[in-house]
Structure 1
Amino acid sequence: MSSPELVLQVLRAEMRAAGVTYRQLAQRIGMSESSIKRLFGQRDMALSRLAQICHAVGVSMEDVLRQSADLTPRADTLTLAQERSLVADPKLLLVANCCLGHWSFEQIVETYDLSDAECVRRLVKLDRLALIELKPLNRYRLRVTQNFRWRPDGPVQQFFREHIVEDYFGGRFDGEGETLLCVPARLTEASAREFVQKLQQLGAELARLHQDDRRAQPPLRDGFTLLLGFRSWELAAFTALRRPAA
């Protein structure tokens, strides 16, 4: 279902909740009942008309749009073909990574050696790949869930292993605001799921701080990267020292 259809679906639900019929709505905005039915049957509506109907029903247009956005289907992962397209173009993967971190268009071109046109072309391609929904003025909305992750052993994860992990963990992690933790624990599956949710919240908090700091002068900002991994694992050398099972 497309976004305009979802908006009309929410609007119909609001009308039912308010007890407003097509006939009553037509009287309130000076149209015929048949015209109202045609308007809803077209599965699209001008914003000015949507605002007029929302006012007549007694609901805010912002609330209707928010509800329809919440209903928009979003994916937890991309397909193999979509990930291969990202890996085939390093600049596209870069812009995708920035979008997942909620970077604005201006922040991307300010930070990286990308022209406005190059960045726009990548945003258009990400829209076609269904990672984002591109909006006017180079704004966008993510079309993936907060639980989005790259495919296990997929093209992007393989790219990260080959080009990122060794380089990332080769650092000393002793700079201001840096840390490296390796914390072993024995958990139930329920506790592990709870911890994963907290890690996802941590990622969202980093994105919020990034947005809050976007107005700070460039010399006051530095590039930080959070690389999270959490799985059932033990270093092989430690496993070899385990006691034999009873």
Structure 2
Amino acid sequence: MSTTADLVDALKAELKSARITYAALAPKLGLAESSVKRMFAKGDMPLSRIDQVLGVLKMDFAELARRIADAQPQRSELTLEQERAMVADRKLLLFAISCLSQWTFEQILATYRITEAEGVRLMARLDRLGVIELRPLNRYRIKVAKTFRWRPDGPVMRYFREQVVPDYFNGGFDGEGDLLLLVHGQVGRAHAALFNERLTRLAQDFAQQHLADQKLPAELKRPFTLVIGMRSWLFAAFRDLQRAPVP
């Protein structure tokens, strides 16, 4: 729930965006400019006064609340308890991944054998877990940042390593649009960091294309999964053959 200070700060931002000065606002509120300045400086005003300012801005309270919610800091990762809840219910994990991919509620139900009642229950759980903010008509707002990632050694990534990775790499990668490359080499530390940045941008490009193609008809789309990894590593079967580094 937003505090009065949050509401006042949001009003300040909206007034600035609309280029409405305190001097211009004062007569519309029936106040002196000095009173308006003092009111905003204290960051405290009754709801009736907030309604008056919203009237000047031609906004309603619900819209202001949405602006405040959208401006709240987003999570970069979930807690261990939240991730454990995800892997304990595969349908919940499915809904979480679908929401993070910004599928609509209707798209999820049309793609998977999940009833509407189940879907509503799962969305409500994701809301309680802080992954989404559930809105009317089963719409939602993502509450995690664009930089969000699962905990590197957390429950979800362990689940993926144990259950998903073997299934993923068991494929032949010989279908239309499929590709599998394995490249090994030695590069400088600075260059390794640059490669990580470029790979991150590639992942972001893939995610953006996914969003752009949501409007395409179903027959023109296929589900793809992009896996990107880079680590300092040598295949276990080769490790005992490696010479000790020269001191």
Letter in 2 for 1:20: T
Residue 83 of structure 1: CA displacement?
Answer: 0.5
- What TM-score comes out, normalization by structure 2 length? 0.78
Q: Corresponding residue for 1:229?
A: 229
1:107–1:180 CA distance, 2 compared to 1 (3 A): same
1:205–1:106 CA distance, 2 compared to 1 (3 A): farther
C-alpha separation between the residues in 2 aligned to 1:155 and 1:49?
49
2:171 partner SS = coil
Contact 1:107 1:214 in 2 (8 A): no
Residue 90 of structure 1: CA displacement?
Answer: 0.8
C-alpha separation between the residues in 1 aligned to 2:3 and 2:196?
31
Percent of paired sites with the same residue? 41
Contact 2:76 2:148 in 1 (8 A): yes
C-alpha separation between the residues in 2 aligned to 1:199 and 1:99?
23
Residue 91 of structure 1: CA displacement?
Answer: 0.5
C-alpha separation between the residues in 2 aligned to 1:45 and 1:166?
60
Q: Corresponding residue for 2:57?
A: 54
Letter in 2 for 1:133: E
> Which segment is superposed worse, 42-51 or 154-163?
42-51
Q: Corresponding residue for 1:220?
A: 220
Q: Corresponding residue for 2:111?
A: 111
Q: Corresponding residue for 1:20?
A: 21
Q: Corresponding residue for 1:41?
A: 44
1:228 partner SS = coil
Q: Within 5 A, what are the aligned runs for 1:1-246?
A: 2=2, 6=6, 8-13=8-13, 15=15, 20-21=21-22, 24-28=24-28, 30-32=29-31, 37=39, 41=44, 52-54=55-57, 65=67, 69=70, 71-246=71-246
C-alpha separation between the residues in 2 aligned to 1:3 and 1:106?
34
Letter in 1 for 2:88: A
* 1:88-115 deviation line (CA, Å, top 9, x unaligned): 1110000001111121212111111112
* Structure 1 unaligned blocks of 5 or more: none
Residue 13 of structure 1: CA displacement?
Answer: 4.6
Letter in 2 for 1:125: R
C-alpha separation between the residues in 1 aligned to 2:4 and 2:107?
30
- What TM-score comes out, normalization by structure 1 length? 0.78
C-alpha separation between the residues in 1 aligned to 2:48 and 2:193?
42
* 1:110-154 deviation line (CA, Å, top 9, x unaligned): 111112221121111111111112222222222111221111221
1:141 partner SS = strand
1:225–1:49 CA distance, 2 compared to 1 (3 A): farther
Contact 1:77 1:144 in 2 (8 A): yes
Contact 1:6 1:68 in 2 (8 A): no
Residue-pair matches, total: 236
